Structure 1
Amino acid sequence: MGTQGSRVSARIGSIAESATLKVDAKAKALQAQGRPVISYAAGEPDFPTPDHIVEAAVAAAHDPKNHRYTPAVGLPDLREAIAEKTRRDSGLDVPASQVIVTNGGKQGVYQAFATLLDPGDEVLMPTPFWTTYPEAIRLAGGLPVEVFAGADQDYLVTVEQLEAARTPRTKVLLFVSPSNPTGSVYSREQTTAIGEWAEANGIWVISDEIYQNLTYDGVEATSIVEAVPALADRTILVNGVAKTYAMTGWRVGWMVGPADVIKAAGNLQSHLSSNVANISQRAAIAALTGSQEPVETMRQAFDRRRKTIVEELNRIDGFVTPTPTGAFYVYPDVTGLFGRTIDGVTPTTSLEVADLLLEKAEVAAVPGEAFGPSGYLRFSYALGDEPLLEGIRRIQSLLS
């Protein structure tokens, strides 16, 4: 289109609004009108940020050195703390120079794709996927290729599925474990098999590890670079403090990768956003280097809620809810409700099921259409114990 055409570029005009944020905004708008909506839509802990982290930020705000520009790629102390965390939790020994501090994990995801992809490059994207991934891939000129695994596979893709989707244009595999939206975690054996397949085929890996510290039932989230060390030279790890430390609003994430790629991503960030707010960076240093006791307290609360929501959802005829072992989401298959008339409504998609629950039960969940095929709902259980149970009771009452 020429200059007289659309007022918005085709590239930006094609982006879909974040579906999870959209549903959460709708729920909050109804709450503001006085409706007692319970929202399972937002992927953020209901806990306050631990006190010692907040106190570090308050102290940082009083220090004039934090009032100035700092290196675009992050404070040296924070990059070192991230390198240490990466050694500890991802089994990858990297220098701080191979770390970039980003404005949340979301910027890390965007920059990872922007740095690796050329127009027409394909990205194998295990599905269900987080709603931002395909948009970030397309913005970078890439083509997301959905590789779907349903509830019968615990939403975990196989090497055979990946191989069937691979073409000469495949450049990147997106690997997410634990997963948003499903909470599924790949075993060490599965991770190794996928990593070895990527290595054998010369495929890059972007691994989003934002939920790696939130696992249950003794399950460990094995980093793909720990499982297959040879992949380290072709892998970007993305992570952040948001989920583990209840710091979603502080906006601190990071990317870790090979030196040449990190240098290029640093150049991009120097023009895109420059440094992350220094106060938030100082808070993140306190999070990573201070007491981890609050993290364990929150994880135990999530575990308790996880057991409650799975048990209660599986009492509902038409819901099939695999037990997740990571993150703080459940992802029931609700195709059993399709074609059933419920309070005068006969849904045929999960979008319609979500609308039905919002209108008739005043419960907000995100429909599967936001994450891939229709037929599913995502419920976050990162909300208080009482509203969590009350919302499920409403659904049970509506569908009984």
Structure 2
Amino acid sequence: MSMTQYVAWEHRGVLDIGFGSITQIGTHFKAMGARRIGIITDKGLMKAGVVDMVKDVIEIQGAPIVAGVYDGIEQDAKSLIVNECLRWCGENGVEGLLAVGGGSVLDAVKGLKIMLGYGVRDIAELMRATAGLHGGLTVQPLTFPHIAVPTTAGTGAESSPGAVIMVEEEGLKGNIVHPHLPAQVCVLDPQVTLSLPPSLTAETGCDALSHCIEAFFARNANSLSDAFAIHAIKLIKKYLPIAVQDGRNVEARMQMLIASNMGMQAYSKANGSAPIHNFAHAIGPKLNISHGLANAVLMSHVMSILFPLYLPRICDFAEAFGVKTDGLTPEQTYGVAVAAVEDFKKQLGIPAVFPHKLTPEDKDDLRFRVKTDIAGFRFPLPVEAVDIILDLSFSK
């Protein structure tokens, strides 16, 4: 890594971190001038009682008014649902957006925020194509009050400048990028994650780890992104197994929320190469596999094949991941480090491969999806490498 390249490190918004930090939501909205807020979430969190926990705190304080709860967000932040949610916000006189959920909810609300900022009714108007990276908007402030409460420790989407939206007509994901997309306030409160099941805890935690890996090995990695990525890797290695085993462990949940946020900040500031996400974006929508599980399964397989990308910094990664490499060459360390990632997956109960058996037609489609995915534009992969990674990642 060279620090001779240009780096712009920009973070917009406040991080409210700590147990009970949801009690500050009302105060933040009042400071932003929002009198009526809409809570945007999904049905699972409604059923789990997490939304009521947040809603009750706000209502006890008396302001702002909770205009309603929209719980229609589904996996992968689908474009038509985002449009429907915008209409709901208008019908209910919403003056502030409160996102309570995982990555899909957080990205959907960022989609609402940018639609409100640019005065459009259909998010497709902001996406110049049905897939790819959509960052060509004229930059203007997005001032609509927006607070995010992540309920998983995985995506870190509360602080990312991108919103990954599923274009339903094509079954492909596109990414809208804007520097004002992060929530004005991100509330990292472990109590909203305590009911997350072990499997989802493991999958979303591996998503956070994949952000750290992608950031650390990115071609545009820098000292600042390294600092965030390396420390987050250490936190995840220590606290994710604890959170999976004991979901009520507040310290583990808190540290994972911090690691998730740090991982996304590193990922969004390094950029340049994200082959794990490249495959996850392609496989997830096609086979209806969650983003967290897709990244979790793929991590070790992608690392095992893309030798030129990972070898130059593998020793530093191994040290951060707690791998003993005394006396080993970088090439030997490479094998040991990839094996350690695979062992970590097993410890967390992550399957070694996806259970699906690919047909030749499936494989052709996935090749196309990998090639045209947002992550594939910046770091295109040779077809031979794509085929080998697909073979490693699926049942025979």
Q: TM-score, normalised by structure 2?
A: 0.33
More helix by share: 2
Q: Which has the higher contact order (CA 8 A, sep 6+)?
A: 1
Q: TM-score, normalised by structure 1?
A: 0.33
